Amino acid sequence: MSEKTFVEGLLAGRVAFVTGGGTGITGGVARALAEAGARVALVSRKMEHLEPAAEKIRAGGGEAFAVTADVRNMEEVEKALAATVEKFGKLDIVVNGAAGNFLCPAEELSPNGFGTVIDIDLKGTFNVCRAAFAELKKERGQILNISATLHYTGTPLQLHVSAAKAGVDALTRQLAVEWGHHGIRSNAIAPGPIEDTEGMSRLVPAEVKEKLRRNIPLGRFGRIRDIEQAAVFLCSDAASFINGAIIVIDGGQWLSKG
Ligand code: COA
């Protein structure tokens, strides 16, 4: 497969707002949307993550713009969205990838630790969707949320993230129903273990990694590219009747008892 996406030009003319867009899975998604022709706003708390990612997209011939916002803060989200619309003229696609994670046993998790992850993952997703509604409605746009598979089974040390992502799934389906009438599609991707991500290096201890890989029916970890391709598809007209779907991309891992 070429380094460029298989869907070059599929998103020509679209404008995307990608939170967490500088690094990891969502960094890849932002780049892939740009390769498919979208103009992309990369959004996160830290400009030092965003600007190099935006520069890389521009160097590859795409259009990208870096803007800081903490998704927990509605005022900052509204400002970043307004800046994106001012720069690119409209908004078609929102990708909610900003997330927080750490490993912690439930009995040691503080209320603020629990709330912080809920605020970033779940409330942040709501904030961005809510603030983007009017612009998405104008363009009959799309929402793509990045969820997880952790909450399909019990995942030790991940109570806070599992609860947040279960909420993201509910929000995805709710908006599919409530905003589908406006032509706005709402879908999610649930990635399994993806190599070369902060999540894998920081959250999966080395001794667990090989066991985890052996438990994946397809025999390998996912690649960021696997998520990118699905994201481009879901944001494109090729997926025009897909609404309220949560697409699991994990090589069959969560179904496998190992
Ligand atoms: N174990 C237990 N509790 C933790 C923790 C850990 N490893 N890390 C943070 N917390 C708790 C803090 O103790 C605090 O609670 P307290 O006030 O009761 O002590 C609460 O979470 C908030 O922590 P703080 O560091 O103030 O939050 P923040 O807003 O600066 O950072 C995080 C947010 C916690 C999600 C941080 O890990 C982060 O910014 N991560 C980078 C992004 C990321 O995780 N991406 C996901 C990649 S998979």
- How many whole angstroms from 116 Cα to the centroid of ligand 1? 7
CB-ligand 1 contact for 198 (6 Å cutoff)? yes
For residue 115, the CA-to-ligand 1 centroid distance in Å is 10
Burial class (CB in 10 A: 0-12, 13-18, 19+), 202: exposed
Question: What atom in ligand 1 is closest to the CA of residue 45?
Answer: 39
Q: pLDDT band at 5, cuts 50/70/90?
A: low
Cβ atoms within 10 Å of 123's Cβ, excluding its own:
18
The predicted structure's pLDDT at residue 6:
57
* CB distance 188 to ligand 1 below 6 Å: no
Cβ–ligand 1 distance for 100 under 6 Å, the answer yes
* Percentage with pLDDT > 70 across the chain: 97
Tell me how far CA of residue 120 lies from CA of 167, 177, 217, in angstroms: 12, 23, 32
Tell me the CA–centroid distance for residue 212 and ligand 1, in Å. 25
**3-state secondary structure at position 187:** strand
Cβ–ligand 1 distance for 199 under 6 Å, the answer yes
Confidence class of residue 212 from pLDDT cuts 50, 70 and 90? very high
Q: Is the CB of 114 under 6 A from ligand 1?
A: no
Answer whether 115 contacts ligand 1 (Cβ < 6 A): no
How far, in Å, from the CA of 15 to the mean position of ligand 1?
Answer: 31
Report the atom number in ligand 1 closest to the C-alpha of 20: 45
pLDDT digits 0-9 by tens, 133-178:
999 999 999 999 999 999 999 999 999 999 999 999 999 999 999 9
How far is the C-alpha of 213 from the C-alpha of 232, rounded, in Å? 26
CB 27 within 8 A of CB 92: no
Place of tokens 């999966």: 204
Ligand 1 binding pocket includes 99 (Cβ within 6 Å) = yes
Give the residue-averaged pLDDT of 3-32: 88
The pLDDT mean for the chain works out to 95
Tell me, in angstroms, the distance from the centre of ligand 1 to residue 109's CA. Answer: 10
Name the band, by pLDDT with cuts 50, 70 and 90, for residue 1.
very low
Is any atom of ligand 1 closer than 6 Å to the C-beta of 116? yes
Asked whether the predicted pLDDT for residue 22 surpasses 50, the reply is yes
Domains of the chain: 15-253 (3.40.50.720)
**Residues 104 and 155 sit within 8 Å (Cβ to Cβ):** no
How do strand 93-96 and strand 142-146 relate by DSSP bridges?
parallel
Q: Does position 3 have pLDDT exceeding 60, yes or no?
A: no
